[in-house]
Structure 1
């Protein structure tokens, strides 16, 4: 999964760089479309896969402010 995320990240960065290159030197509107595709790819494909990879096998209650966690935090201060 780590290698897939790296490949997708470089694809996203490549789309953005290619879009800026095309925008400045060849065609403004075509470059804007490529940049937009890079942003959409990052937001709707890369980001959910990345978040899934980082949060799998984690207990969400460890990161929530519950009464038990508040007691643990106040006990550590004392």
Structure 2
């Protein structure tokens, strides 16, 4: 999965760079496809890949997590 994401990222950035560098009649389309590919394909794939085995409750500010954070701060100050 990470190789697919890397390949798609390289392709999107290549498309954007070629759109700026080359003087073609469809250069703006190259830039547009590159940006669209980054935000509609690469970013969701990257987010899914990074979060697929994690529990979202660990990152929410619940009362239990706030209490744990306060306890950790007290232990660090000692």
Give the C-alpha shift of residue 30 in structure 1.
2.1
Q: What's the TM-score once normalised by structure 1's chain length?
A: 0.87
Give the C-alpha shift of residue 12 in structure 1.
0.8
CA distance, structure 1, for counterparts of residue 44 and residue 72 of structure 2: 35
CA distance, structure 2, for counterparts of residue 3 and residue 36 of structure 1: 23
Runs (4 or more) in structure 1 with deviation over 2 Å come to none
| Equivalenced residues, count | 74
Tell me the C-alpha RMSD between the 2 structures. Answer: 1.1
Give the C-alpha shift of residue 21 in structure 1.
1.1
